[in-house]
Amino acid sequence: MTGPSAENGSAMTPTPKAVEELANRIFKETRVPSFIHVNLDAVAHNVDVIRRLSGPNTELMGVVKGSAYGSGILPVVEVLLEKGAKELAVATMSEGIYLRKNDVTVPILVLGNLIEDEVVDILQYNLIPSLSWDKALRGFQKGDLCYPDGRRLQVTLNIDTGMSRYGVQPEDLAELVEFLDDLEVEIHSMYTHFQSSITEVNLNRKQLEKFLAATKPYEGRPFYRHAAATTGLVQGLGADLDFVRPGGAITGLCSGSDAEDAKQFESCGFRPALSVVTRPAFYKLLSAGRRIGYDGIYETTEPEWIVNLTTGWSDGCARKLSNQGAVKRIRTGEKCPIVGRVSMDSITIKLPDAPHSDEVFQLVTDDFDDTTSAIGVARRLGAAVYEITGNWSTRLPRVYTKGGEVVKVFRSLEYTN
């Protein structure tokens, strides 16, 4: 969590005192014991890094699915648009409609594979669906496929160059294009998605070559090409096409959790924007031989300070962190082990001494720490880095800051996406 001393996303690391002061102000203002902090200066900074890694004529399409990977879609979109992102991409229709209902007017791609029932909403909300085949549009006539302002439906074509998930096979592309031409559907863009992690350049390069070869016959036509998401940006693969299409990088999340992935990602200058901040709700000195929490899986071996924090698996703290995760004690930098089971609404940690009343702890740190950052937790759990931020539910408020000031607070039920 970046304190007041950090200016507009600079690489300055705030002092523990600054972090505590900001957190305590937020605790007081929001009157909650735990919250998710999203530093919008870090988001703006990451957009600058993305631009630096992109070609000079390449535009940014910000991927904000999964509520911007847990950071909250609207505030992140606001920064992206302020910083000049030309287009956005989401995974589902509901996300696209949500953005439209919140007055977002730039082109929005819906990356999930289109199904027939979604066409009516695609048209009504002026969205650009992703196609891997013609199935969803087979039942329609030319005249059916227009947006309310009369423009022809636009689609983006996903080309399978190796991911083998969605996507038209390159050898079937011509037939799909012909089908769309007959229906007078416009092709907004063609894209592909890399399968391998940052450290596996060769396979991604092969995918890029396959993509460039597949789209070459259409070079004279007015559509965009895009391939690089976070991994491609870091690898410099496809980062000079018409668009880059990153998601994780926007909030400073690395696409892979290996130490080498993290090293390369961090060295680009990205900064994680999200931290999970909490403070002691209760604490006590327990004597030796006390078994803590459900199933008593941790037993004190000496007099131990046990501190309760009010966040649990219902908020998004993985239950698998029971007896193996740690929480950062901001004042000292200590990593305090999670002891016993992560419960639905709380966790217990062990401290070497009693906490002070204004002490602040972070359950997910906005850095690249091996233990407590999203990347560190993901490595420990064998999870995706994006899961670690994306799984936090709406129960904890999300607090947004710029220049060390709170600019927005989303509280549980208000925060619906």
Ligand X SMILES: Cc1ncc(COP(=O)(O)O)c(C=O)c1O
Binding-site ranges for ligand X (CB under 6 A): 63, 111, 193, 229-231, 245-249, 255
Residue nearest to ligand X (CB): 247
Instruction: Give 235 or 346: the residue with its C-beta nearer to ligand X.
Output: 235
What is the closest distance, in whole angstroms, from the C-beta atom of residue 201 to ligand X in the complex?
Answer: 15
Q: What is d(CA 271, CA 284) in angstroms, rounded to the nearest whole number?
A: 36
Known catalytic membership, residue 218:
no
Q: Which is nearer to ligand X, 74 or 111 (CB)?
A: 111
Residue with smaller CB distance to ligand X, 247 or 404? 247
Among 83, 263, 294, 328, the active-site one is 294
3-state secondary structure of 105: coil
The amino acid at residue 224 is: Y
Complex with ligand X: residue 160 or 359, whichever CB lies closer:
160
Least distance (Å) between residue 219 CB and ligand X: 22
Q: Is 329 helix (H, G, I), strand (E, B) or coil?
A: strand
Q: Catalytic annotation on 65?
A: yes
- The label of the residue with tokens 């597949």 reads 214
What's the closest the beta carbon of residue 191 comes to ligand X, in angstroms?
Answer: 7
In the complex, least distance from residue 107 CB atom to ligand X, rounded to whole angstroms: 15
Q: Residue 272 in contact with residue 48, Cβ under 8 Å?
A: no
Contact between 132 and 167 (Cβ < 8 Å): yes
Amino acid at 148: P
Compute and round to an integer the Cα radius of gyration of the chain. Answer: 23
> How near is the Cβ of 134 to ligand X at its closest, in Å?
20
Contacts of 104 (CB under 8 A, 6+ apart): 77, 81, 88
Cβ neighbours of residue 13 closer than 8 Å, sequence gap 6 or more = 6
Which lies closer to ligand X via its Cβ, residue 263 or residue 291? 263
Query: Would you say 265 and 257 are in contact if contact means Cβ atoms under 8 Å apart?
Result: no
> Which is the catalytic residue, given 65, 83, 328, 350?
65
* Residues annotated as part of the active site: 65, 294
